[in-house]
Amino acid sequence: QRIENVLRHALAHNELLLQYQPKVDAKLGHIVGAEALLRLHVNGEEVFTPDQFIPVAEDTGLIVSIGTWALREACLQARSWQRDGHPIAISVNVSPLQFQYAGFYERLDAILNETGLDPRLLELELTERTMMSGGDGTIRLLRRIRQRGVRLSLDDFGTGYNSLSYLKHFPVDALKIERAFVRDITQDAETAAITRAIIGMARSLNKDVIAEGVETEVQSAFLRDAGCSHMQGFLFGAPMPAEKFEERLVVTD
């Protein structure tokens, strides 16, 4: 209840913001993209973490407006970076309720037209839960989104039960290996073997593979050798405000 009120207020008074976490090329190490992540700051203080407020936003349906706001904001930011000579890809998380909403494609299309962002610079991150929420029309919707030029990635890959069949059935460009796998690859031989197999399989299906939650050089080296194309995690940078992210872009040039 309290979180819901804070969220409603935040939405009306522009207190939501996005932070950006670098995605780097696994071989070259330079920044090729950013994941946009929601934050809720009141008077400069983080009042609730996403793990606290996203579930409330989903339960109350507020996630549909919040998600639309986040998508537009991320596209505007990427357009601005593109204009400044940094054509990096922006990834935005899509929640099940947002994806289910009948006008999802039309909204996405309108935001692309309105912001003028090259759709090839936008990637939507969908979890299995999101894919499942789409019902019978899901594959058609995914195809339309890709025909518009937007990339799709399967987020938190490995957590669900259907991961492998999802990869076969849904037309996605990339998959993101979830943090728990990455954490254990250097601890546990089975996790290492499974992760290597997932990467190999995804590559043979012509998908990009991005590892998330990469925190150490040892993890990074393992993943690069296993064929991961991109990486994200504290080793390369935590989620940060847009201004900080821009400094990183300039340094990389």
Q: Which residues bind ligand G (CB under 6 A)?
A: 21, 37-38, 49-51, 54, 67, 70, 93, 95, 155-156, 179, 212-215, 233-234, 239
Contact call for residue 128 and Mn ion (CB under 5 A): no
Tell me the C-alpha distance between 131 and 55, whole Å. 17
Stretch binding Na ion (CB under 5 A), from 23-31, 63-71, 155-163, 196-204 = 155-163
The distance of closest approach from Cβ of residue 16 to Mn ion in the complex, given in angstroms and rounded to an integer, is 17
Tell me the C-alpha distance between 26 and 24, whole Å. 6
Nearer to ligand G, 36 or 249 (CB): 36
Stretch binding Na ion (CB under 5 A), from 81-89, 128-136, 150-158, 221-229 = 150-158
The distance of closest approach from Cβ of residue 78 to Na ion in the complex, given in angstroms and rounded to an integer, is 19
Quickly list DSSP for 74-115. Answer: HHHHHHHHHHTT---EEEEEE-HHHHHSTTHHHHHHHHHHHH
Contact call for residue 155 and Mn ion (CB under 5 A): yes
CB proximity list for 71: less than 8 A, separation 6 or greater: 92, 94, 107, 108, 111
The distance of closest approach from Cβ of residue 94 to Na ion in the complex, given in angstroms and rounded to an integer, is 12
- CA-based nearest residue to 223, from 187, 165, 190, 177: 177
- CA-based nearest residue to 199, from 224, 171, 217, 234: 224
50 binds, among Na ion, Mn ion, ligand G, none (CB under 5 to 8 A by kind): ligand G
Contact call for residue 125 and Mn ion (CB under 5 A): yes
Tell me the C-alpha distance between 67 and 62, whole Å. 8
The distance of closest approach from Cβ of residue 253 to ligand G in the complex, given in angstroms and rounded to an integer, is 24
Stretch binding Na ion (CB under 5 A), from 77-85, 106-114, 147-155, 220-228 = 147-155
Contact call for residue 178 and Mn ion (CB under 5 A): no
The distance of closest approach from Cβ of residue 85 to ligand G in the complex, given in angstroms and rounded to an integer, is 26
158 binds, among ligand G, Mn ion, Na ion, none (CB under 5 to 8 A by kind): none
Question: What H or E segment, with its residue span, contains residue 253?
Answer: none
Nearer to Mn ion, 54 or 223 (CB): 54
Contact call for residue 156 and Na ion (CB under 5 A): yes
Pairing of strands 230-231, 208-211: parallel
Task: Give the residue nearest to ligand G (CB).
Answer: 233
Q: Please give the DSSP secondary-structure letter assigned to residue 58.
A: H
Q: How many CB atoms lie within 10 A of CB 231?
A: 25
Quick check: 31 and 210 in contact, CB under 8 A? no
Binding residues for Na ion (CB under 5 A): 155-156
Binding residues for Mn ion (CB under 5 A): 93, 125, 155
